[in-house]
Amino acid sequence: MRALDSHLHLWDPSRLDYPWLEGPLRARFGPEEFLAARGADAVEHAAVFVQAACVDEQYLDEVAWIASVADLVGVRGIVAGARLDRGEETRRYLDVLSSRPLVVGVRHLLQGEPVGFAGTEAFRAGARELVRHGLTFDACIRGAAQLRDVIALAEAEPELRIVLDHLGKPAVGTASDPLLPDAEWADAVSDLAGHPQVSCKLSGLPAEAGGSWNSAQVEPFLDVVANAFGPERIMIGSDWPVSAMANGGPDAEAIRNWTDAVAQWAEARDLDVDAVLWRNAARFYGVG
């Protein structure tokens, strides 16, 4: 088995500034910590790094740091932080960013923006610049209203390759008090999947469950996105270390547990396990 993790974070608060970090997440989760968490097994591993929301002024510093450790941790692509709503400044930034060999896409965090932000002309102009630069867009949102914003973005910019992070962060409950998929979320996911340039990451649900999750709880949500997007537009992501927190600290088995859960689910649904765990992410990000 092989696994191309489409959603890996690394951070070091002594190196860069991350205003959002608090509690047990406000610690160093760098290459050494990640390799220890991944452990040694027979699985072939690689990853796509996704920006970790350092301050805007350090986005390029983050790219440089990850590029310097990419070989050590198996990073094959970088989804860099970006502000897409700043006109000429965005264009100049993307010119620089696209010259960095490992950069394959960007993420402007939409979850912290007001509903409708992705429909503003300033943001749409930045999205068109992504197309011009050959970069993908990671859509990290929360709630059905922001899912509708991503649907409108996909309709307006059909050449923009978009991947939905964390299934759109649906409410999943906990292992002891699970929730079933909400109809409004499921309908929005189905509408988004109607745009062939959009894919979806199987990631982030352990964090949405507060670290208390099991396979039976999350499988109905995986079923919804698999039925909507089909077997060729879904990809595994660990969301490490955000989805590795349990009982007030990091769970050493988090990556293995999520990979096994997704692989077993895919096999039980007669899906191509290698596509879900590797090929779909490799194709979307163009990382081989």
Q: What is the mean pLDDT of the chain?
A: 97
Q: Which residues contact 232 (CB under 8 A, 6 or more apart)?
A: 275, 280
> For residues 142 and 182, is the Cβ–Cβ distance under 8 A?
no
Give me Rg for the CA atoms of the chain.
Answer: 18
Residue 184 pLDDT level (bands cut at 50, 70, 90): very high
**Structural domain boundaries, residue 8:** 2-285
pLDDT tens column, 33-81: 999 999 888 789 999 999 999 999 999 999 999 999 999 999 999 999 9
pLDDT tens column, 229-261: 999 999 999 999 999 999 888 999 999 999 999
Provide the 10 A C-beta neighbour count for residue 275: 18
Q: How far apart are CA 153 and CA 127, in angstroms?
A: 9
pLDDT value, residue 42: 72
pLDDT tens column, 197-239: 999 999 999 999 999 999 999 999 999 999 999 999 999 999 9
Q: How far apart are CA 264 and CA 261, in angstroms?
A: 5
Q: Please calculate the CA angle 228-113-226 and round it to the nearest 5 degrees.
A: 10
CATH number of the domain that residue 199 is part of: 3.20.20.140
The model carries a pTM of 0.98
Q: Using alpha carbons, select from 83, 88, 186, 200 the residue that is nearest to residue 144.
A: 186
Residues, the chain:
288
Please check the confidence at residue 288 and state whether its pLDDT lies above 80.
Answer: no
Q: How far apart are CA 73 and CA 35, in angstroms?
A: 7
pLDDT value, residue 138: 99
Partners of 178 in beta bridges:
173
What's the total number of domains in the chain? 1
Sort 128 into a burial class: Cβ within 10 Å, 0-12 / 13-18 / 19+: middle
pLDDT value, residue 26: 97
Return the biggest CA–CA distance within the chain.
50
